A = this chain, B = another copy of it.
Amino acid sequence: MSAPTIRLAVDAVVFGYDPKDGISVLLIQRKYDPFKGGWAIPGGLVLENENLETAVERELEEETGVKVDYLEQLYTFGELNRDPRNRVVAVAYYGLVKKSDFHLYASTDADDAKWFNWTELPELAFDHVKILETAIERLKGKIRYEPIGFELLDDKFPFSDLHKLYEAILEVDIDRRNFKKKFLQLDILNELDEKISEGKGRPGSLFQFNSDRYFAMKKAGINFEV
């Protein structure tokens, strides 16, 4: 009996963030059928001598020019007819990037890779809606007990950016003062002497994620939770 001819693909849901625009998702416009001209999550077939993560990073780089800061496996989608041509099983990943690192790609409408606000997404090819929903669900869950939010922010950020990020992801209002109190007592942020004024209002201190401290605490069994 010959081996079943099941093709293996990887797909990546990449999230970006901007305090003004909220959460966005990186999509590509398909050049070929099926779904030619339609929007889709970046991805493609895994090569025979390639690790899954390598494949995701390669496809992302090829199709969008983006290199993710954070990448995590999401779920494997294996329904029989998810691809009209062949049996394709897709291992989906989700990634987080600092959008400002890739300004050229993100703002170029002419390119076939584009950021979409996650509340205003176009129709998606294949079962990519389902993949995206799974990724959003995961992001919402994960942000509450892992400090992955910093992958979406600049290295130094005013506290309000972090606050707005959590409100944007969780889609709820969070009391500014209580959030800050709670977050600061986790003791994984460094408050810098620098201040930043963003137009109007009192300027705020800049903060930095203290990842050394976080990993030390995690190792010691102290759990993070927001």
- Contact residues of A with B, CB < 8 Å? 3-8, 45-52, 73, 75-76, 78-80, 86-87, 89, 91
Contact = CB atoms under 8 A, between A and B. Distances in A.
Contacts of A79: 51
A5 B4 CA distance: 9
Q: How many copies does the complex hold?
A: 2
Interface of A: prevailing SS: loop
A48 B6 contact: yes
A136 to B, nearest CB: 16
Contact of A4 (B45, B52, B80): B45
Given A6-B8, A51-B80, A76-B91, 7 more contacts: A3-B7, A3-B45, A4-B45, A4-B47, A4-B48, A52-B76, A73-B76
Contacts of A48: 4-6, 87
A32 to B, nearest CB: 15
Specify which of A8, A47, A76, A89 lies most central, judged by the most chain B CB atoms within 10 Å of its CB. A76
Contacts of A8: 4, 6, 8, 89
A224 to B, nearest CB: 14
B91 A46 contact: no
Contacts of A5: 3, 48
**Ranked 4 nearest A-B pairs via Cβ:** A52-B78, A4-B48, A76-B76, A6-B8
Nearest to A88: B3
A47 B50 CA distance: 23
